[in-house]
Amino acid sequence: MALILANSVWSADGPALSALIWIAPGHEAAALTRQPAMCSRAAEGDNQVLIGEALFNAPMLLGGQAARADVSCASCHSNGRRNAHFHLDGVSDAPGTADVSSSFFSLAQANDRFDPKPIPDLAYPVKVSRDPASGALERFLRGLIVEEFSGREPSPAAIGALAAYVRAIGDCGAIKEQPRRLADQAALVRVSVLAAEHLAAAGDAGTAAIAVAGARHQLGLIDERFVGAGLKRERARLLAASRALQPAAQSRAPDPAELQRWLTGFERDLLPVLARGEARSLYSEARVTAWVGRQGQ
């Protein structure tokens, strides 16, 4: 793992962005500034889909080496679609491919062959039935987590929510891409905390902790992009916000009311400050392009 990190993450003249671990060389600017468009098929207010989205973006769901490399389901399936920029040493050959039977993720599923396959677009079902009555998608997702990624056994609620989210992933027709913005990361913070609230209220503390860890992961991704002169205050407040969530991640019975108070404070007090600094951060396409250019020199 140390070799992958050393070869894949730049640190000179800028931050060490964790996403660069699994972005193909030459694809950095595109991957950091754009993402596939996704139009959800879910009904508004569907809590199952909300919880599933939170887990889909949480590396802790997969556990093992994936979690240590900050790889979530969304790393390969950006915004629920296909990440054409994905490339992880020892797992991928061409960009947008992955060998999920690699020993990097799971010794149990390792087949001693390097055979990366194109990452599928989840808006278009191919091999696994999405029919809820069959339960095929739920069984497939459980196998991915436990067998292919060596993750812990997920709760039935976690698998049900994850399947609901995957079924909701849709194409946007002519709109193929959209920008990556601070608002997208902030929305995932919100989704993750709300998911943790619902899970905690239902007594599923283990999955609630994964959702809280997912919220902290999103805060970390924001922090990585808020670098440079004049952004130290924002980073200090992001660190404080993340630390304030830590007790909920470690609690056997997270308090939904405490989670809601944290989210209210984040969106009322911190998010506007971050929004004012966005143009000076690495959410700015111009700044990302310039930074990537400097790394290539």
Write out pLDDT tens, residues 60-96.
999 888 888 888 999 999 999 999 999 988 889 999 9
> Which residue has tokens 């946007």?
172
Whether the CB-CB separation of 22 and 88 falls below 8 Å is answered with yes
Q: What is the pLDDT of residues 91-139, one digit of tens each?
A: 899 999 988 776 666 555 556 678 888 999 999 988 899 999 999 999 9
Across residues 228-236, what is the average pLDDT? 90
pLDDT of residue 45: 85
> Is 80 exceeded by the pLDDT of residue 6?
no
Please report the pLDDT score of residue 4 as a whole number.
36
pLDDT number for residue 105: 63
Beta strand 34-36 with 177-179 is antiparallel
Q: Classify 94 as helix, strand or coil.
A: coil
The domains of the chain are located at 18-24+33-180, 181-280
Residue type at position 198: H
How far apart (Å, rounded) are the C-alpha atoms in residues 136 and 163? 10
Q: Are 37 and 176 in contact (CB under 8 A)?
A: yes
Whether pLDDT at 2 is above 90: no
pLDDT for 297 equals 54
> And the tokens for 3?
């070799």
d(CA 35, CA 31) in angstroms, rounded, equals 7
- Please report the pLDDT score of residue 274 as a whole number: 98
Residue 9, pLDDT > 70, answer no
Partners of 179 in the β-ladder: 34
Q: Provide the terminal-to-terminal Cα distance of the chain, rounded to the nearest Å.
A: 26
Task: Say what the pLDDT of residue 108 is.
Answer: 55
Mind listing the pLDDT tens digit for each residue in 133-168?
Answer: 999 999 999 999 998 888 899 999 999 999 999 999
CATH for 18-24+33-180 is: 1.10.760
CB within 8 Å of 26: residues ≥ 6 apart: none
Q: What is the pLDDT of residue 161?
A: 98
Burial class (CB in 10 A: 0-12, 13-18, 19+), 99: buried
